[in-house]
Structure 1
Amino acid sequence: MVASKNPVKLKATQNILGKIYPKTDVKAKHVDSGVPDQPIGLDITIQGAINRAKNAFSDEFDLSVGIESGLLEVPHSLTGYLDLQWCAIYDGEKTTLGVSAGFEYPPMVIKKVLEGIEVGDVMDEVTGVNKLGQKKGAVSHLSKGLLDRTGNTEQCVLMAMIPRMNERVYF
């Protein structure tokens, strides 16, 4: 169960889990993250992913997947922040975590976010694409199409699955 109706998060999870478990059935439902819509900071972003995964879990599914994007303070970066996606995968007992590659938004985007506007809203305005984060994503726009949001999200899902793919050495 993917703890979001965002089509990018669902597709990324289907892509990765489908390779690991070929007969997997991935569903999605809206789940509250319990954190602000625009998480800023490591702890709050990870907590949002964990909250999503735990809030989506039921005995009907083996795993629940929570994905949360957030801005993390990074010294020596141009703006002081990088965007990272965190994935929490929960099985009713244990949670495994993974993170995507991070990227930096333009300074004007960070300025507006720190004024209280969500990254998605700013990037929709910058690109002229409505709901960019549910399509190719800001990372696609900024990387000139070399990486889209689905691929970026697949990274965090795969990283969260590594302990589960190697249970003998992790658990």
Structure 2
Amino acid sequence: MKVAVGTVNPVKVNAVKNVFSKLFEGVEVEGRKVGSGVPDQPFGTDTIKGAINRAKNAYRTGDYDYGVGIEAGLTDVEGYVLDIQFCAVFDGLDCTIGCGSGFQYPSTVLAEVLTGREVGDVMSELTGIENLGQKSGAIGYLSRGILDRTQLTEQSVLMAMIPRLNPKLYRSLE
């Protein structure tokens, strides 16, 4: 089985590899540089759109069984702004979606993001950790290492695979 991930970020590629390797044997996972079609710092529904676009664009870069797109963005939920990471898995016909745990940023980070900056840049500057998003991520820093970005990404990938792991059940709900 060949899987294309719509990013070259090693954290996201490894998370996909970790999940797919637990679900299937003989999995090859490759990162592909593709566009998301949404702003670099997505808000609201742009986050899901970005994941879907990345999955479809990655799938189309070669002969793959699946294209996987992962996009983290900020979403307002009843006045609370949460960072939620979405994953889309595309097989050429169907797209399935999942997300990981959501969490809040400090108000100082949100204030900077609302001026047009990206969360990753603000968090790297705040923590002094260069390329934080390609390491433990903001979640790793904020959770004091209890949950890192790879684990958070794995959540969203696994959640996007749930319908594919239970096709008879999901077909019966249509």
Note whether the superposition's TM-score is higher than 0.5.
yes
In structure 2, the residue corresponding to 1:30 is in which secondary structure?
A: coil
- 2:126 counterpart letter in structure 1: V
More strand by share: 2
- 2:82 counterpart letter in structure 1: L
Equivalent residue for 2:47, pick from 22, 27, 45: 45
Look up the match of 1:29: 32
What is the distance in 2 between the residues matched to 1:92 and 1:37? 25
Look up the match of 1:18: 21
TM-score (norm 1): 0.95
In structure 2, the residue corresponding to 1:27 is in which secondary structure?
A: strand
What is the distance in 2 between the residues matched to 1:117 and 1:31? 21
Listed as ranges, the gaps of 5+ residues in structure 1 are none
- 1:151 counterpart letter in structure 2: Q
1:95-143 Cα shifts (integer Å, max 9, x gaps): 0000000010100000000011110110000110111001100000000
What is the distance in 2 between the residues matched to 1:24 and 1:166? 19
In structure 2, the residue corresponding to 1:145 is in which secondary structure?
A: coil
Look up the match of 1:125: 125
What is the distance in 2 between the residues matched to 1:13 and 1:47? 19
- 1:145 counterpart letter in structure 2: G
CA RMSD of aligned residues (A): 0.9
In structure 2, the residue corresponding to 1:33 is in which secondary structure?
A: coil
Percent pairwise identity: 53
Q: Which runs of 4+ in 1 moved over 3 A?
A: none
Q: 1:22 Cα shift? A: 2.2
What is the distance in 2 between the residues matched to 1:50 and 1:106? 28
What is the distance in 2 between the residues matched to 1:61 and 1:48? 20
What is the distance in 1 between the residues matched to 2:54 and 2:31? 11
TM-score (norm 2): 0.94
- 1:2 counterpart letter in structure 2: V
In structure 1, the residue corresponding to 2:6 is in which secondary structure?
A: coil
Look up the match of 2:102: 102
Q: 1:74 Cα shift? A: 1.8
Choose 152-161 or 55-64, whichever is displaced more: 55-64
Matches within 5 A, 1:35-114: 35-41=38-44, 43-58=45-60, 60-76=63-79, 80-114=80-114
